[in-house]
C-alpha cells in the first residue's frame, strides 16, 4: 500500500522524530485496512494496539483520541486514493481519456484490493452519513471534492469537444459514480465476479453514446 511504500522510501535515520513518523505511518496503514473491514467506528485504539503488538499508551502518544485516529486514517485513505486514482488519471490528456481514467482507476483500486474491505470511502460514507461531527464533515468534504473532480473532467471533455455540449455535466458525473459504487457493492457484498466488467461496459456504453466524432477512441 502506498503509505507503507512511502515509509520504506524514507532515508534511514536514528533521529527519534523520524522514527516516530515512520511508526505513525505504519500504524495508519494498518488502521486504513481495519477501518475498511470493520468501519471507522470499529477502529478502537485497543484493537489496533493488539494487532500492532503495541501498548495502548504507545498508541495514545500518536493519537490523543479515537476521533483523532479516525481523522488521521481518513487522510491516509485520501492520499492513497489521490496517488492511485486521481494522479494517474490526471496524467492522461484532458477530455474523454481523463474522464474514463478517473472511473477506471477507481474500479482498479478496489478490484486489486488495495483496501481489504472494498471501497474505503463508500463504506465510510454509509457509516457516517447520518452522524454529526468532524468525522462526518471530513468524509462529506472529501466526497464533494471527488464529485467536483469528476464534474470538472466532464466539463473539460466538453470544452475539448469530446462530449456533446448539451450533456448535463453534474448529472453525468453522478450517473457514472453511481454505477461504479454499485460495482463495489456487488463485488464486496455479493462476491459478484462480473461486477467490474459489467460496470466498465455500462460506463463505456454511456460515454460512447455522448461522445462526438472528435473524441479519442475509448477502449
101-130 footprint of its own copies as x/- string (CB under 8 A): ---------------xxx---xx-xxxxxx
Contacts of 142 (CB under 8 A, 6+ apart): 74, 78, 121
Stretch that binds its own copies, among 24-32, 38-46, 63-71, 72-80 (CB under 8 A): 38-46
Which of residues 145, 164, 201, 208 is near its own copies by CB under 8 A? Answer: 201
Q: Are 29 and 4 in contact (CB under 8 A)?
A: yes
CA dist list (Å): 123 to 25, 77, 153: 22, 12, 24
Regarding 143 and contact with its own copies (CB under 8 A), the answer is yes
Report CA torsion sign: 89, 95, 99, 104: negative
Regarding 165 and contact with its own copies (CB under 8 A), the answer is no
Contacts of 65 (CB under 8 A, 6+ apart): none
Q: Which is nearer to its own copies, 7 or 210 (CB)?
A: 210
Compute the least distance from the CB of residue 170 to its own copies, in Å: 8
Instruction: Tell me the C-alpha distance between 118 and 126, whole Å.
Output: 13
Which residues of the shown chain bind its own copies in the complex (CB under 8 A)?
36-39, 41-42, 116-118, 122-123, 125-131, 139-140, 143-144, 147, 170-171, 174-175, 177-183, 185-186, 188-190, 195, 198-199, 201-202, 209
Amino acid at each position: 500500500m502506498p503509505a507503507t511504500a512511502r515509509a520504506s522510501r524514507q532515508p534511514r535515520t536514528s533521529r527519534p522524530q523520524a522514527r516516530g513518523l515512520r511508526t505513525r505511518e505504519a500504524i495508519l496503514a494498518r488502521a486504513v485496512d481495519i477501518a475498511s473491514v470493520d468501519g471507522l467506528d470499529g477502529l478502537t485504539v485497543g484493537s489496533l494496539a493488539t494487532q500492532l503488538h503495541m501498548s495502548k499508551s504507545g498508541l495514545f502518544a500518536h493519537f490523543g483520541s479515537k476521533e483523532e485516529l479516525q481523522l488521521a486514517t481518513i487522510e491516509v485513505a485520501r492520499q492513497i486514493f489521490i496517488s492511485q486514482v486521481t494522479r494517474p488519471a490526471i496524467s492522461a490528456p484532458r477530455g474523454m481519456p481523463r474522464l474514463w481514467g478517473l472511473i477506471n482507476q477507481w474500479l482498479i483500486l478496489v478490484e486489486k484490493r488495495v483496501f481489504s474491505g472494498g471501497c474505503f470511502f463508500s463504506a465510510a460514507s454509509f457509516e457516517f452519513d447520518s452522524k454529526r461531527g468532524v468525522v462526518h464533515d471530513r468524509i462529506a468534504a472529501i466526497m464533494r471534492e471527488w464529485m467536483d473532480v469528476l464534474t470538472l473532467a466532464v466539463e473539460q471533455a466538453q470544452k475539448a469537444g469530446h462530449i456533446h455540449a448539451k450533456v448535463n455535466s453534474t448529472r453525468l458525473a453522478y450517473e457514472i459514480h453511481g454505477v461504479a459504487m454499485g460495482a463495489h457493492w456487488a463485488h464486496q457484498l455479493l462476491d459478484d465476479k462480473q461486477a467490474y466488467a459489467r460496470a466498465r461496459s455500462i460506463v463505456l456504453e454511456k460515454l460512447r453514446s455522448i461522445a462526438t466524432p472528435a473524441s479519442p477512441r475509448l477502449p
